[in-house]
Structure 1
């Protein structure tokens, strides 16, 4: 019995694991680049002038120290703007995948 167990153990260790790969389909560009949305660095006043009043203004979060400035979010129809203090730091388009960075580093499957 011991020999059978040892043989099965050795056989299982010597088998080659199956390698599997999938094709990754990348979205065509940044969705925020195709929409007219605020750009990084705009002020809250400039955003309000250009895009009007948001559907909802969220209260600032954080701001307890210079390393953690207050972050504010304004929601528009289909996208949200995030501010650090009074400056746009990001725009998030709803139901859109996050942009993929370093696409040039990806290689096609052989």
Structure 2
């Protein structure tokens, strides 16, 4: 099970549409904010969370902290337009496995997701 958290609803809908073609047996969930995502994280056995940094209220970095501080076995990919080196370092230090730029790394998502779901 995969959770995609991004406040751009058309982006999450498009991601689910594209990824569902390659990952037909995977269940995808979406959330638009930290507050929307927490119930999924707390109640579903997620394999991967794909988090945007810029969310309304608390950030995707806050959500990454929440996942790791609550010792969830969920693996994390940060996918953002805020692809600054300082954010990259911070997210990787906090436990994200990958940090991708939405605009230039989009084609990497299916490959990384396949690897993460297999292991």
**TM-score (normalised: structure 1):** 0.22
Q: Which has the larger radius of gyration?
A: 1
- Compare the two structures and name the one with the higher helix fraction: 2
**TM-score (normalised: structure 2):** 0.21
